[in-house]
Chains A and B, each alone.
Chain A
Amino acid sequence: MSATILAIDGLSKNFGGVHAVQSVSLAIPAGRVFSVIGPNGAGKTTLINVLTGILPSSGGKVQFEDRDITDAPAHVVASAGMVRTFQNGRLFQRLTVMENVLVGAHHLLPQSVWSAIAGGTAARRMGEIRERAAVLLATLGLTGDTDRLVGSLPYGRQRMVEIARALVSKPKLLLLDEPAAGLNSSEVERLRGILEELRTQGLTLVLVEHNMGLVMRVADRIAVISFGEKIAEGSPAEVRADPKVLEAYLGHGYRHAEG
């Protein structure tokens, strides 16, 4: 049983009268793949948005590596080592593939304008980061595309650029919001390989996904969210057999048909 790297305690988010996330508690173990699944509109993306500082919470606490990051701004969360990718991808259209990746390393460089002009430390560190980025891009199959504008890449490879951007800062936890959406089966297979490789390297992964095949094969532990609440949690086998989960996905009638 590994240590908890991300402790989510009673986290809630309301939009006016809509309770998108209702008192969700999760203990994400370090170095494992933790998957969050649930029917459409269950609040999974909202949960990630609140965790990563994009939306303010309406209650509860979030601790990352013993540091309280509840409602911390997005860039603070990322600098602390918890990074994310976006559903449908959010890339910088006016920048090249390499430049997109480099933005992810912003907090590793001196934050003053002067350092950008004067060079020295900043330039040297930037060189190191560029090399790291180049290696990452090679691993993800993007070597030839380094200087192309991201918009010119096919969708599957754009998603890879986003992953590279998230990884360039050597984070400790990577949150992926539906990374398999829009990918064909060979691309999903490639993604699976990448996720397993990342886990081998000690990275903690939180995977929000709809692609059950992928989830069942990579996840060490799964939590199920429905209507903003956690309704089940456990190993893939446990979750698969849980009647509450089946009911959430397939509707009330299924339960009665079974029993």
Chain B
Amino acid sequence: MINRRLLAASAVFLLALLLPAFISGYGIRILNLALISAIAVIGLNFAFGYAGLITLAQAGFVGCGAYITAILSTTLGLSPWLSIPAAMVGAGVIAVVIGLPMLRLKGHYLALATLGFNVSFVIVATNWKSLMGGTDGISGIPALALPGWSLGTDHRYYYVVWAALAVATWCAWRIRNSHIGLAMIAVRDDEIATGAASVGVTRIKVQAFGLSAVYAGLAGALFAHMTNFVAPDDFALGHSIIYLAMLIIGGEGSILGAIAGAVIVTFMPELMRDLGTAYLIVFGGLMLLILIFLPKGLLSLTGIVARRLKALSR
């Protein structure tokens, strides 16, 4: 199913490979963070964008992934190439286990239950000093490496993150166009009709939730091996809300929207640092304006621009 959107997205992805030549130092670090967040937000898109589950747990799952890989690669000395997949699976399993009871809840009740999970995760991470290091966190997390070639610099790590995002995007696109993706979207649109059409609604919700956690786990693991250090505050509730904001601002229900939102929301405060202390105020205000004037998110701008160009060319 080749279409224009797919071609455009592929082109952007390929061009993005050239970015490290133009950006340096701090910029690459931010870029890596943006792409890592994008993976988490694509995950969130399954649960919220498609299936309509209001989840405030995403940062908690990112934290699960980060801590699992941190513990496995430091305490057990496992190679990151093994501990990262383990982190993804671990986060997914945790999500399924808590999802089975929680996903019976709907609307703001589900939101609050997932909020409770995220908050509890931070509390446990802060207090379980022996396993998770408490407020000091876990440091000395090894960088990724290929035989004879360290991937420890931000520049080199960019290609790792780029590859992970590319695979994550491709998988998400496959899922979206499969019967699983359709069922997730249907569940949000009309849960009753979805059940009547032979979709096990609880199962699909758990799958969406679990999938979002697997993606979050990957993001967390990549984060851990980039910063070589994890601490509870990186996975606090506020980050879950920011992921949700990234998705809505970029365009919920859209994989590209998830990526766009993550990039914009990560970069914008950085671009505005020159404004001094007020930069977060401007950022918050700008986000509010986007919410008000672009109800379908930033990605809808491409549609609006395309239509205007079409009208002009007549």
Report A-B touching, CB under 8 Å.
Answer: yes
| Chain A residues engaging chain B, CB cutoff 8 angstroms | 52-54, 73-75, 78-79, 83-84, 86, 90-95, 99, 102-107, 109, 111, 113, 115-117, 119, 122, 126, 165-166, 169
What residues of chain B lie closer than 8 Å to A109, measured between beta carbons? 179
Most buried by B among A52, A99, A103, A126: A103
B171 within 8 A of A: yes
- Other 4 A-B pairs with CB < 8 A, given A94-B188, A111-B200: A83-B198, A113-B211, A122-B178, A166-B197
Partner-A contacts on B (CB < 8 A): 171, 174-175, 178-183, 185-186, 188-190, 192-201, 203, 207, 210-211, 253
Chain A residues contacting B199 (CB-CB under 8 Å) are 75, 103, 106-107
The answer to whether A86 and B196 have CB atoms under 8 Å apart is yes
Report the bound CA distance from A90 to B191 in whole Å: 10
Q: CB distance B197 to A104 under 8 Å?
A: yes
Q: Which B residues are CB-close (under 8 A) to A73?
A: 195, 200
* B178 touching A126, Cβ below 8 Å: yes
Q: When the two chains form the complex, which single residue of A53, A78, A111, A113 contacts B197, counting CB atoms closer than 8 Å?
A: A78
Report yes or no: B196 in contact with A84, Cβ–Cβ below 8 A. Answer: yes
Which 3 interchain pairs have the tightest Cβ spacing?
A116-B178, A74-B195, A90-B193
What distance in Å separates the Cβ of A200 from its nearest Cβ neighbour in chain B? 25
A residues near B179, Cβ cutoff 8 Å? 102-103, 105-106, 109, 116, 122, 126
| Residue from A79, A93, A102, A117 in contact with B182 in the complex, judged by beta carbons closer than 8 Å | A102
Q: Report the nearest B residue to A102, measured CB to CB.
A: B182
Contact of B171 among A86, A105, A117 (CB under 8 A): A117
Query: Given the known A-B contacts A54-B195, A113-B175, are A106 and B183 also in contact in the complex, defined by CB atoms under 8 Å?
Result: yes
Shortest A246–chain B CB gap in Å is 34
Find the B residue at minimum CB distance from A118.
B174
Which residue in chain B gives the minimum CB-CB distance to A111? B203
Closest partner residue, chain B, to A79 (CB atom): B198
Min CB–CB distance B207 → chain A (angstroms): 6
Residue of B200, B203, B207 with most partner-chain A CB within 10 A: B200
Q: Nearest Cβ distance between residue A97 and chain B, in whole angstroms?
A: 12
**CB < 8 Å neighbour of B175 from A74, A84, A86, A116:** A116
Instruction: Report which of B180, B203, B210 forms a contact with A116, defined as CB distance below 8 A.
Output: B180
* Nearest CB on B from A88, distance (A): 11
Tell me the smallest distance from the CB of B93 to a CB of chain A, in Å: 14
